[in-house]
Chains A and B, each alone.
Chain A
């Protein structure tokens, strides 16, 4: 099934009212190597709805944009007429703190939202990269999260209700503002991780988490990455329930430039939280499992920021990066696979793992080294083969633009591509939203 627009798209400048095209086109709006003809930043959900009804009628190819932190994610766009910024949808709708829920428009930044929630000692259990810039809608559309997800599940588990503007401009809602709900299909799931290909998320209701009274971060370092991962697994399987467990290899430590990290060693970092006595007990149990120091609050906050941002801030942005999801016990083996394959191609990877979640992030800085496209493709192919053998998947988060043409950055997931194509055909029959950018180039 193809999703090419039925006839060539129109120049947005001629069909969209001027007042809607209220932003200049800048280099920031370039996705991969395509630039849009115009940029719109709707000031309300109604305006977005009107705009999308026009873009749909005229087969305009649109790419929604939140904070732009993960703008290079995905396969190359087939067409790109108009960028739609969601940052104008920036109302905090309500914080029902006594209900531990909140509703917010999608263009609010993650940091602003968390700051509001912090007034009542609550937080939203997602921690995407660059939270000062990343929007709620963008973070959900990408669907990945940061280190905290292990204890608090995935971003999808925090969403209790959602409003979406569909490609044809109609506003639809699902869920509600209560924490337990099975009324109709769980439609929000289509859009979390859907990269804005079935609609644009405009408003979200979340269930929140009370802030734990006290937190602690423990840090220890090892000669080998295997040791750090082995210790991480011991903690994962113990009575301790950390908020996050992360290992950072020596190369990633070097890139993060954090004073807290020993740059020639492999680091294990554990975040714990709770009430004082419970926390003290957890710290003790961790100390029995690995040799570690307690970090002060300020240094810890800064280090966790660097970990979340790894691969996304200017300093660590790689040329090539993969995100592997696999059973936690297989991460040591997969790390070895990545080191070995990199050695074969004379590259050096930087590895960050979230072992409890089974996530391994490997980034490479090619620094202009003349590496063949076919070599990179072959390496990714081999990483995918190895991961699949271990019942995992490899998603390519970063890839050099001139070389990305026919690669699908998404892996093959259980033969479900046909169903995914059917979904796209139902919700975006004209293929106007992020055409070509998602899994299977749909």
Chain B
């Protein structure tokens, strides 16, 4: 934690005000409170929050931070789930939410240039008149910013066929820790030299501050078809998932929910999911009408091999929205079942989903905590939701330990620590489960190539101590509420 002493802090605040204007520097304790947490409830109070208007102001703030040797943590909408936007070493939180210009839409060449504060869905809304959209769609897309998406390499339900943020970023204007401004890539598909744009995406704000983003857009599909398949249990549903992929069908989305999630969702946002179901799959295909018709038929054929209770296709957009509403409302709905949840994010090979879910069930029994399962199943991306009550002594610790066990299970199955939420503060101590010291040293060199003073979002990604599971993972604990997304 960096502490400046009162006179220096006062001087810094004045200098920041002279850069961005008085109204865009937040420094009174009571005003800072809303910036001390993100999508997780881990907290750290910054010295000041600064809201720059443009790249030049970002440069000036960065130079001030260097002068005062205090950290800068960039922040978008604060919906991240791994503590990426928390200033856990104090310093300046650079909130980029004023930089919301869509600078250019080049419909002819299917690209756009935006500022980092643009909300994900706003880009697609702006490009819709041209028949184009931006595919990565995190569940928080109505509030999360594209700058945050770049920092976390965000995915979303539709990244199965369409890919994640990194597959769409063509170029980035970046302010480095020393205040220099560089473009990594531009609007062209190919660039020469090291793939700096690819390196920046998913680097969790530790390498530079992104001030402009050039992305690729795609054509809005002619037809979207959504299908609900209901199964007796997660085993049947998992087998159907593997078989769909093995049959060479890559749907646009392939989501799974287990019994606990179905019940929670239905009690809150009735989507018409059968209450007695053991698991459901929500499958979406898109493209030319001729193709989607056949794909739907093939998917039904595969599902039928696994004793479905029911298969239903949405006949219109309203039905489709309704089916998705249940899926998107699960997290909020869990509030009915328990005061708190710990949302775990891990990925396994798609063929290992069933084994892993069995392991999760055993962990649930061992720790006597209910665990719901929500999966981007087509990607093998698991989201076990461990329900607990932080008011019960020991419950929080149990939930954290259970989460750790689940991550170990994912790694053992040939999987990884995080599918789409990032490492941040939440999982930094788990890194040695997946990476050797040499691997992590190599990652540290990357950081050093960008900056040597550890000004940008310090204390993230890399483990803080030698013991990797014992340190409390408070960053992972979330209260259930309508503002949580996965």
Contacts and interface: CB of A to CB of B under 8 A. Distances in A.
Given A193-B195, A277-B291, A183 B446 contact: no
Contact of B198 (A189, A416, A427): A189
A217 interface: no
Nearest to A163: B439
A209, A275, A357 pick with most chain B CB within 10 angstroms: A275
Contacts of B370: none
A170 interface: yes
A250 interface: no
A237 B108 CA distance: 7
B111, B192, B195, B202 pick with most chain A CB within 10 angstroms: B192
A176 B189 contact: no
Given A423-B194, A426-B448, A99 B351 contact: yes
Nearest to A422: B449
B144 to A, nearest CB: 15
Interface string B443-458: 1011011100000000
A180 B155 contact: yes
A397 B347 CA distance: 40
A211 B34 CA distance: 51
B420 A180 contact: yes
A182 B202 contact: yes
B188 A416 contact: no
Interface stretch (B46-54, B240-248, B319-327): B240-248
B351 A182 contact: no
Contacts of B246: 97-98
B443 A180 contact: no
A417 B191 CA distance: 13
Interface residues of B, number: 85
Interface string B407-446: 0000000111111111100010001001110111011011
Interface in A22-62: none
Interface in A369-417: 391-393, 395, 410-411, 413-417
B250 interface: yes
Contacts, number: 256
A176 B416 contact: yes
Contacts of B190: 144, 154, 323, 325, 357-359, 393
A275 B294 contact: yes
Nearest to B201: A186
A327 B187 contact: yes
Contacts of B159: 180
A92 interface: no
Nearest to B166: A186
Given A121-B248, A357-B189, A426-B449, A327 B109 contact: yes
B192 to A, nearest CB: 4
B290 interface: yes
Interface residues of A, number: 85
B325 to A, nearest CB: 24
A187 B436 CA distance: 14
Given A359-B189, A426-B446, A413 B291 contact: no
A182, A192, A280 pick with most chain B CB within 10 angstroms: A182
B191 A325 contact: yes
Contacts of A174: 439, 442-443
A101 B349 contact: yes
A190 B415 contact: no
Contacts of A101: 349
B204 to A, nearest CB: 9
A166, A237, A357, A427 pick with most chain B CB within 10 angstroms: A237
A419 B349 contact: no
A191 B431 CA distance: 22
Given A173-B439, A180-B379, A419 B188 contact: no
Nearest to A184: B443
A99 B160 CA distance: 12
B167 A172 contact: no
A395 B190 CA distance: 10
A356 to B, nearest CB: 9
A425 interface: yes
Contact of A329 (B109, B166, B196, B439): B109
B438 A327 contact: no
Contact of A410 (B192, B440, B446): B192
Interface of A: 96-101, 121-122, 143-144, 149, 153-154, 156-157, 166, 170-187, 189-190, 192-194, 198, 209-211, 233, 237, 239, 241, 274-275, 277-278, 280-282, 323, 325-329, 357-359, 391-393, 395, 410-411, 413-420, 422-423, 425-427, 438-440
Q: Which 4 pairs show the lowest CB-CB distances between chains A and B?
A: A414-B183, A210-B248, A189-B198, A278-B291
Interface of B: 106, 108-109, 111, 152-153, 155, 159, 163-164, 166-167, 171, 176, 180-196, 198-199, 201-203, 219, 222, 242, 245-246, 248-250, 287-288, 290-291, 293-294, 347-351, 376, 379-381, 414-423, 427, 431, 434-436, 438-440, 442-443, 445-446, 448-450, 461
